[in-house]
Chain A
């Protein structure tokens, strides 16, 4: 089966510019996650969708980050305006019904963002 697809793979922008990332989860997976992974650290959950509804966005900097999941399938994550500290890899993951034993999340390859 096809994995989680993300694009672009790499992006370099100047601070205060805008950027958007796209994610196509595994077909049929109800839960979609966006993680931010700063170099040398573990992934940090930004937002979690169940179908097209948000179940957790407690760590999403809502003044500059936004995310949507239209029709409960694809998702986009946007940063506007970007700051230097946003430089990281942005990972998208999906799972059939949310985390639980034997329902692990599958991760995409990520988008590496560099803000200069």
Chain B
């Protein structure tokens, strides 16, 4: 069936350290993956995405790694800041004949300790 899951439901890191948020997915046909950040009381906000034919993509302070062999995705945040505290969702995109369908995972709550 369709499912996207996260290994760690909560993560606490010291300010300035690097954070790694992991995600497992089950649909090997998914053609790309997205990471979203959701702050309290707000809707999810796009962080970075990666196509299935890539294994790494970098953004500003964030890096996404994709390992298709084990169906694993990770989001690395460098020099974590208090403003990074939020719930992070990975989502996988299933490309259909006429439209794409995005399935969200359950999320990981990241807390940054000052």
Contacts and interface: CB of A to CB of B under 8 A. Distances in A.
Instruction: Report if A and B associate in a common complex.
Output: yes
Given A99-B93, A101-B51, A104-B34, A43 B44 contact: yes
Interface stretch (B62-70, B72-80, B96-104): B96-104
Given A41-B107, A101-B51, A107-B42, 13 more contacts: A40-B106, A42-B105, A43-B89, A45-B102, A50-B99, A56-B99, A98-B99, A99-B102, A100-B93, A104-B34, A104-B46, A105-B102, A110-B43
28 contacts: A4-B43, A40-B106, A41-B107, A42-B91, A42-B104, A42-B105, A43-B44, A44-B104, A45-B101, A45-B102, A48-B101, A50-B99, A56-B101, A91-B43, A93-B43, A98-B100, A99-B93, A99-B101, A100-B32, A100-B93, A101-B32, A102-B49, A105-B46, A105-B102, A107-B42, A108-B43, A109-B41, A110-B42
Given A42-B106, A99-B93, A104 B43 contact: no
A99 B104 CA distance: 13
A45 B103 CA distance: 8
Contacts of B44: 43, 91, 107
Interface residues of B, number: 24
A49 B76 CA distance: 33
B45 interface: yes
Nearest to B44: A107
A55 interface: yes
A100 B100 contact: yes
A101 B43 contact: no
